Structure 1
Amino acid sequence: MSASKRHVHIESDYISLDYTASAEQARNVADELAEGFPEFEVTVDDEVKEDAPPLPCARLWE
């Protein structure tokens, strides 16, 4: 997996999701969710999982 790809983990009481995204997309989605949805815990790291799907609508987060 490319070094520019990041692992995005989104969690709340009811969901636990893992995605891959570019560094920019990961940062932007984490910032937006933190601002608008404080009930979500979003972490971004380099632990990219080969089987994780790409971030839905990823181009919106560029």
Structure 2
Amino acid sequence: MTTVATAPAPRQPRHIHIESGALKLDYQASAEQAQNVADELAQGSPELVVTVDDDVSEDLPPLPCSRLWE
């Protein structure tokens, strides 16, 4: 019997937008990372507006310290 290893499915990047007054930040992150950040910010900083969507463009920078949110 032959076992074939399959590569993990690539992570679908998500767009995370963080806004508070004049501060507007846009990043790309994995779905898990984006949701974890959104959940944490909603609990700890209710003045922030955080949205996660599929509007990802290649020029969006990656979420800083993204591995912390896995």
> What is the TM-score with the length of structure 2 in the denominator?
0.82
Pair 1:26-2:34 in alignment = yes
- The match for 2:24 is 16
> What is the TM-score with the length of structure 1 in the denominator?
0.92
Shift of 1:49: 1.8
- The match for 1:60 is 68
Gaps of 5+ in 1: none
* Larger RCO (alpha carbons 8 Å, 6+ apart): 1
What per-residue deviation string (whole Å, max 9, x for no partner) do you get for residues 2-22 of structure 1? 661000000001300000000
Q: Which has the larger radius of gyration?
A: 2
Count of residue pairs brought into register by the alignment: 61
Identity %: 69
Gaps of 5+ in 2: 1-9
